[in-house]
């Protein structure tokens, strides 16, 4: 069992083949325009303003509509109009598959019920925290902000499972980046990423495709991602009255005797994205 | 006319690469050097004499705050812009501004914001 998207679920159950699924996804993408695209089509915003909103969103924990009002680019009425258009036009992948004629509607309904059952253990939009942690609210925030920043900075679709306690050391990943929190909260915050994921994150940081960049630059990009996320975490924690310090992010060198968990309380969150695997390991110190 | 020189001081090559791209896309500016910590930054400042320095705060060897102080001691007119991770090091940014930094630019960079700052140099 793992977190997955509905299309993947259908594929695994042989309800649809990969080619038809891809065609349905493309159709869905052509129909589901983004907030900015609608705002441009209505003449409410210029392309450069949408770009600015996306950049600003990487630093602000706000929805694009709220942000556009805050920055006085749109009125609340205009935001409402755009959101209504977006909602009315939006189609789900199941609907796209049916429209394209690949699967009958009654089969999609049946599969959707099975999918919801399968995925009911995963909470969307809120990080699950296993019982037994000293400061569960802060671990939850670490998970939430990491997921949000991954979506916003790297612009990836991402889903996170509920955290699980790690009794053993995680296996080696392409890159592992660690940041230590000290002061009011004492944690090791560790990012583990496979190569595809790491290159996607690094590319987002550099501002261009990192598919062929050297490993060192990719590692550096992931460290910077960790730095930005932890900077946001510090800000959030400060709002909650916790003054904490963070170390400079460093890349963990795997070798004999490396230890992340070391018999301490460690929670691992696995984040599935459209560009590889990302995991977050939070260790109580 | 000669281009204005920009010195980048940041331990992250990825960050510097993104910033370099923005600077070099801005007419009239070029990146004259990239230092990986505060000590290197001071040395490069002395040799390059840049028109503006973009300085990270959290770096190994010598952090940005110490480097800003040293550079301002060497040249009161030096123009230094602080690079900051979003919100995370608010008190340190305030301190950097007190030491004479002219502005702050948050990461990840918004090109428009960087260009606005460059236009003021």
Residue B90 has pLDDT above 60, yes or no: no
- pLDDT (tens digit per residue) in A233-243: 887 787 677 77
Tokens of A150: 């991954």
- Average pLDDT score, chain A: 86
Fold of B4-119: Rossmann fold (3.40.50)
Tokens of A220: 């550096």
Closest-CA distance of chain A to residue B85, Å: 5
Packing angle, helices A215-239 and B13-24, rounded to 10: 90
Q: What is the pLDDT of residue A33?
A: 85
Q: For chain B, what is the largest distance between any 2 Cα atoms, rounded to a whole number of angstroms?
A: 39
Closest-CA distance of chain A to residue B77, Å: 30
Phi, psi of A267 (to 5 degrees): -115, 130
Tokens of A244: 């904490």
Closest-CA distance of chain B to residue A234, Å: 5
Q: How far apart are CA A37 and CA A29, in angstroms?
A: 12
Minimal-distance CA residue of chain A relative to B19: A206
| Cβ distance of A205 and B14 shorter than 8 Å | yes
Give contacts of A 228-267 with B, CB under 8 A: 228, 230-235, 238, 246, 248
Q: How far apart are CA A215 and CA B13, in angstroms?
A: 12
Model confidence at B86, pLDDT cuts 50, 70, 90, reads low
Of A44-53, A170-179, B32-41, B97-106, the one with minimum mean pLDDT is B97-106
| Cβ distance of B85 and A231 shorter than 8 Å | yes
Mutate to test the interface with B, among A48, A59, A142, A229 (most CBs of B within 10 A): A59
Q: What is the mean pLDDT of residues A50-79?
A: 85
Element (H, E) at A11: helix A6-12
Nearest residue to B109 (alpha-carbon basis) of B76, B78, B84, B74? B84
- pLDDT (tens digit per residue) in A116-138: 887 665 444 567 888 888 888 88
The domains of chain A are located at 6-119, 136-284
Q: What is the pLDDT of residue A58?
A: 67
Q: How far apart are CA A56 and CA A36, in angstroms?
A: 13
Closest-CA distance of chain B to residue A215, Å: 12
Fold of A136-284: Chemotaxis protein chec (3.40.1550)
| Cβ distance of A217 and B17 shorter than 8 Å | yes
Minimal-distance CA residue of chain B relative to A204: B108
Minimal-distance CA residue of chain B relative to A210: B14
The domains of chain B are located at 4-119
DSSP 3-state of A173: coil
Contacts of A248 in chain B (CB under 8 A): 11, 58-60
How many angstroms separate the Cα of A211 from the Cα of each of A95, A205, A219, A254?
33, 13, 13, 23
Q: How far apart are CA A38 and CA A41, in angstroms?
A: 5
Nearest residue to A196 (alpha-carbon basis) of A278, A96, A82, A75? A278
Q: What is the pLDDT of residue B27?
A: 93
């Amino acid at each position: 069992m793992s977190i997955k998207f509905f299309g993947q679920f259908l594929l695994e159950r042989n309800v649809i083949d990969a080619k038809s699924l891809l065609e349905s996804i493309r159709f869905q993408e052509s129909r589901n325009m983004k907030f900015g695209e609608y705002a441009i089509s209505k003449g409410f915003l210029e392309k450069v303003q949408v770009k600015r909103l996306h950049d600003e969103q990487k630093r602000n924990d706000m929805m694009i509509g709220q942000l556009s009002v805050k920055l006085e680019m749109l009125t609340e009425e205009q935001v409402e109009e755009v959101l209504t258009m977006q909602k009315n036009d939006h189609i789900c992948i199941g609907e796209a598959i049916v429209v394209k004629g690949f699967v009958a509607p009654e089969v999609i309904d049946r599969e959707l019920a099975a999918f919801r059952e399968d995925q009911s253990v995963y909470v969307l939009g809120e990080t699950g925290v296993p019982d037994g942690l000293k400061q569960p609210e802060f671990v939850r925030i670490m998970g939430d902000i990491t997921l949000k920043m991954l979506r916003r900075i790297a612009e990836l679709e991402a889903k996170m499972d509920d955290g699980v306690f790690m009794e053993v050391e995680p296996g080696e990943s392409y890159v592992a980046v660690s940041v230590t929190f000290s002061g009011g909260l004492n944690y090791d915050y560790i990012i583990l990423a496979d190569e595809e994921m790491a290159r996607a994150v690094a590319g987002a940081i550099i501002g261009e495709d990192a598919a062929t960049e050297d490993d060192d630059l990719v590692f550096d990009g992931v460290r910077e991602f960790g730095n930005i996320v932890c900077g946001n975490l510090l800000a959030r924690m400060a709002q909650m009255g916790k003054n904490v310090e963070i170390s400079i992010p460093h890349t963990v060198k795997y070798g004999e005797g490396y230890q992340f968990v070391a018999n301490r309380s460690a929670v691992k969150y696995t984040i599935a994205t459209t560009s590889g695997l990302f995991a977050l390991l939070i260790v109580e110190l | 006319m000669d281009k204005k020189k920009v010195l980048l001081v940041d331990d992250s090559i990825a960050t510097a690469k993104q910033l370099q791209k923005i600077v070099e896309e801005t007419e009239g500016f070029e990146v004259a050097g990239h230092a990986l910590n505060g000590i290197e930054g001071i040395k490069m400042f002395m040799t390059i004499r840049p028109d503006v320095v973009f300085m990270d705060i959290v770096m190994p060897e010598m952090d940005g705050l110490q480097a800003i102080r040293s550079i301002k001691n060497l040249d009161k007119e030096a123009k230094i812009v602080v690079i900051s991770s979003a919100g995370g090091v608010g008190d340190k940014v305030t301190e950097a501004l007190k030491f004479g930094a002219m502005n702050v630019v948050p990461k990840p960079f918004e090109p428009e914001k960087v260009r606005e700052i460059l236009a003021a140099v």
